[in-house]
Structure 1
């Protein structure tokens, strides 16, 4: 057996021993714990060629970036390329140069595994779009299926919420991280939907809804001070409406109307004006909402009759149903009747904070942004949840571009493609008996629970379990608890209690855990949950899996596998061993010397 190794296209000098490789199928492993195929430590001699390749990184004073940059490895065995595009890591240098390889593009998951990015960090939703119109939708449609959200049919100002297909989210996670996903059961993924159960805005909304107000004159005095008027301007019909006032010369914008719930506003204004007469000692530029003073600034400069104010900051939470309700207006407070204000200059920017919540008015021409209203769930936790629900496991795609999510059923269906390894077994003794056999799988207990997240608003029990009949195991464990809560039913309709009525009969929005629904009905406008109960999921997608793990048999053997067979190894295709008259799923293959491999197999 002769190994040849190339790093970044340069052939390295090999030592006397070959390269030991390990192939992992990741079968029965959740997506957050999968590992790449890898080599054990490869010890290279410290030849001139090898030292030149690592840029003399063994010398402390050397300026070398080699240990800190990714490198590409290719491994040939007896002239056959069995590993290509491997990730090469320089581990250490002592008497030898120690490196390791990993391949199979599981490393493409690293940006997801090691990231705290949530679904709200997705860059776009190309199918659903960035937003939809937020209006009084009385007739459900495919993107707003019928759900009992807790409001009466006659309730004004309440809408069926949009839903997003999980297949679209999974596709975008892959795109954002530079990999690709391929799925078994892809059609099912398109029918599982996430209802958007919040009313969050977005930075795009904030920027789009910012207003520039140009001061033009003064209105009448009041207890709040002398009102500042602005030029008539075009304003966002989504966020603000102009409140008109009158002054010398005609009608002007006297302020704006707040139409949002629990909204913070940022103000940036350097105002310069002239004030006739004696300038009062206590003088303020005031922002008022609903007659309540929210923000103020005293003059930072007085030069003769010229007075300059700097009003900057973010308001407390205000809104139509929030802490304060009313029109947003601006005053100069502290003026006397004899004072006249003129020569106003300095445009004022008024913008919603980036956390602005969605419009709660008549709804027409108002946008509901999708990404900010996705559940605040880590992308990896989301992938783990969806693949667990459908009984999917991960392997590298054969073309090296990403990940394939396959089901246990796929291995069974591939029996027709099974590879006969009967003549490959290296027998250590007489008799058709495996080298070793065990009767349990790592991480399993007697009762293996699959659960939904707890939520006080959910009354039913929608969890399920897989039973392994072995008295030697622990009593129970939780295989997974989804980051979603289950859904009850109200009559024949899925119930998500997003709204409720208080003691005064007023509608309130509740803070509840994220949900999943299944789109059903001939036209896809009806939400269902029966398909997503764990009992249904385990029965439908874990049937063959349960049969295997209930009485597992795992054997290990030494087999002689050629470089060509290693190159063509497909971990989703089972192998057949005539000695035992059985098919087996490949769990692990570890190469040794002289084409001998230690193989771990699960009887199917």
Structure 2
């Protein structure tokens, strides 16, 4: 007895109508198409019960939306679930309601169909302001990362006899694991399989597909502060060797982020690059001895004092001019850094030269946090289909998705399918009907293709060769949306003493422009043109060398050690084919597709049918992957099995 439930309502079936089930997973002979279990057309009579379940579909004036909605379906045979949590699609209404049931991977593919990464996935964790410290802090970020590479922009600046990496021409990369995790949580699936602990998967990133946005700022007021020599400046005995007064950090105060810790130190509450606007009043009096003047040997010299910005007690090269005028300077700090000020004493080669009096009467501060703009992956991935990204995932690792119970999806490589658990079906063998020698729609050479910035290039493409001279010469079986790197590499300097060899991920075009300046002198300039919708896969590895980061836009720089360096290992299709498709190629080169008659299959056998195992028939002395199994009754069925050679 068969029972069909649509949206948990029991339908009335024609008892005499047979139902044929076609059980299958992804076709091993077709890398790109993804297939599902389905039934032959089921015709429901227009009984009162069925009309009610169908919400009056097909009646005069009906407004039913069921043909356009997802209809949950369960089909039982003798109380055994043959299709559970399937998908019913109504194709036609005449004297009956005609529908088909689908299950397996179709549920996932239907769920992600017409969905985009930018619209339908929550990428909140990746939104950030771009500045020097967001770049630095991203080197250990698990969701996005500024991977140091040549993106074909203005990558370097020379300043103060040092080489700096210009972050204005860096872009972040989003971690692909983060996107896969979001697909699972958003659409209610759990992905399982060894691939998810594979280092190549864990270290798989995708670049931001266009240059950074315009600069932005966010004001952070700091109340005007009256300061004095003994408090804010904390001046002690000068060190004449370098002319800088030592700094004594006061540890007697409890640190409160984003507030003054005392009357001279401020702990910042967030990382970033800041513009410090200030106006100060003060006077520095120096004296020296004049031995030849017996009446008044002491001479006084009035100077305008300059303060120096300190970060965590370290003197910087950034000056505050206390000259009763409005000034500003830029500086970058990380979360929890403490800013303070020190007075740099002036040393002149005069007898008994020294500071007589320092009086800073007022120092008004106002801070703006500035950045190169807000980076939001949702904005740039708004047109990138979830289904397109999911297919890239399958192609990268040569995977077959197999739906398990409770919305779990198991991902297996061809090697894993060939060497999986063995199920002995010898007692169900009832003879072989036929043996075929070509499978799928393959050619002798089958191309896996990247996108390229230059036409008619193919240096990173891969191909599968099938040793069958009766096939057509060649065809494209995969055309990725992802660009590949440029063919040449470059030396990329991260400081005056550190460099590495980098691949080029082209996000800017360089154009050499010859111009004549106002003095009539011909000059040569380089213009950088933005390129959009350039997606690249990339990997990250640690470089423990020096890196100097700078931003032309933000007018600041920071020196660091340790950074994330680009790596492209294993991302070319020519390597992906070698690493993930050799077993696949072995099957295609020696195709044996057997149509095998099966006897005594019960609804329990169908309920427990598995595509993640290898079937063994003693009569054939062979191992097989089950590709398709049409099932209509318990008497005799014919399954399509692909012979495999186990290692």
Contact 1:193 1:516 in 2 (8 A): yes
Aligned match of 2:596 = 557
Output the CA distance in 1 between the equivalents of 2:573 and 2:68.
Answer: 46
| Residue 79 (1) aligns with residue 99 (2) | no
Q: Report the 3-state secondary structure (helix = DSSP H, G, I; strand = E; otherwise coil) of the residue aligned with 2:394.
A: helix
* 1:145 aligned residue (119, 124, 147): 147
Please report how far the alpha carbon of residue 418 of structure 1 lies from its aligned counterpart in structure 2 after TM superposition: 1.6
Cα deviation, residue 92, structure 1: 3.9
Residue number in structure 2 paired with 1:533? 572
1:37 aligns with 2:19: no
TM-score, with normalisation over the residues of structure 2?
0.61
Contact 2:188 2:407 in 1 (8 A): no
> Partner of 1:546 in structure 2?
585
1:65 Cα deviation after fit: 5.7
Displacement of 1:94 in angstroms is 4.3
Aligned mates of 2:30, 2:190 — CA distance in 1 = 18
User: Does 1:382 find its partner at 2:389?
Assistant: yes
After the TM superposition, which of the residue ranges 13-22 and 521-530 deviates more from structure 2?
A: 521-530
Of 511, 515, 519, the residue aligned with 2:540 is: 519
Q: Offset of 1:453 from its aligned partner?
A: 0.7
Q: 1:487 to 1:363 in 2, by over 3 A?
A: farther
Q: Deviations over 1:450-479 (max 9, x none)?
A: 111121299771111110011111100111
Distance 1:180 1:30 in 2: 25
Deviation, structure 1 residue 52 = 5.0
* Gap runs ≥5 in structure 1: 211-236, 245-360, 428-433
How far apart, in 2, do the equivalents of 1:363 and 1:509 lie?
24
Separation (CA, whole Å) in 1 of partners of 2:384 and 2:277: 41
User: Take 2:209 and 2:52, find their aligned partners in 1: how far apart are those partners?
Assistant: 59
- Distance in 2 (alpha carbons) for counterparts of 1:89 and 1:516: 37
Aligned to 1:340: none
- Would the alpha carbon gap of residues 487 and 140 (structure 1) be closer, same or farther in structure 2, given more than 3 Å must change? farther
**How many angstroms does 1:438 deviate by?**
0.8
- Counterpart Cα distance in 2 of 1:95 and 1:238: 69
Structure-2 separation of matches of 1:63 and 1:365 = 53
Residue number in structure 2 paired with 1:293: none
Instruction: Report the secondary structure of 2:375's partner residue.
Output: strand
- Separation in 2 of the partners of 1:387 and 1:153? 41
| Partner residue in 1 for 2:356 | none
1:426 maps onto 2:430 in alignment: yes
TM-score (norm 1): 0.65
Taking the aligned partners of 2:46 and 2:511, their CA distance within structure 1 comes to 77
Answer with 1 or 2: which has the greater Rg: 2
Aligned to 1:100: 100
Residue range with higher mean Cα deviation, 379-388 or 140-149: 140-149
Deviation at 1:83, TM superposition (A): 1.9
Unpaired segments of 5 or more residues in structure 2? 159-163, 220-270, 279-367, 492-500, 514-523, 545-562
In the aligned structure 2, how far is the partner of 1:562 from the partner of 1:505? 77
2-structure distance, mates of 1:83, 1:31: 25
Equivalent-residue separation in structure 2 for 1:92 and 1:371 (angstroms): 39
The aligned runs of 1:6-405 (5 Å cut-off) are: 6-7=5-6, 8-10=8-10, 12-28=12-28, 33-47=33-47, 49-51=49-51, 53-54=53-54, 57=57, 59-60=59-60, 69-104=69-104, 106-113=106-113, 115=114, 117-125=115-123, 128-135=125-132, 141-142=139-140, 143-150=145-152, 151-152=155-156, 154=158, 158-186=168-196, 187=198, 188-199=200-211, 201=213, 364=371, 367-374=374-381, 377-396=384-403, 398-401=404-407, 403-405=409-411
Runs of 4 or more consecutive aligned structure 1 residues displaced over 6 Å after TM superposition: 29-32, 237-244, 457-460
User: Distance in 2 between the 1:443 and 1:26 partners?
Assistant: 14
Indicate how the Cα distance of structure 1 residues 241 and 61 shifts in structure 2: closer, same or farther if over 3 A, else same: same
Q: Within 1, Cα distance between the matches of 2:63 and 2:168?
A: 65
For 1:579, the equivalent position in structure 2 comes to 619
Q: When you count strand as a share of all residues, which structure comes out higher?
A: 2
In the TM superposition, what are the counterparts of 1:494-505 in structure 2 within 5 Å?
Answer: 494-499=503-508, 500=510, 502-503=512-513, 504-505=524-525
C-alpha separation between the residues in 2 aligned to 1:482 and 1:426?
A: 44
Residue 410 (1) aligns with residue 416 (2): yes
Q: For the Cα contact (< 8 Å) 2:437–2:591, is it kept in 1?
A: yes
Query: How far apart, in 2, do the equivalents of 1:394 and 1:563 lie?
Result: 24
| Shift of residue 35, structure 1, vs aligned partner | 3.2
Shift of residue 386 of structure 1? Answer: 2.5
SS of the counterpart of 1:530?
Answer: coil
The structural deviation recorded for 1:100 is 2.3
- Paired residue for 1:455? 453
* Alpha carbons of structure 1 residues 96 and 386: separation in structure 2 relative to 1, 3 Å: closer
Deviation at 1:149, TM superposition (A): 2.7
Distance verdict in 2 for CA 1:439–1:81, change over 3 Å: same
Please name the residue that 2:483 is paired with: 485
Secondary structure of the corresponding residue to residue 168 of structure 1: helix
The root-mean-square deviation of aligned C-alpha atoms, in Å, is 3.7
Number of aligned residues:
446
Distance 1:505 1:62 in 2: 69
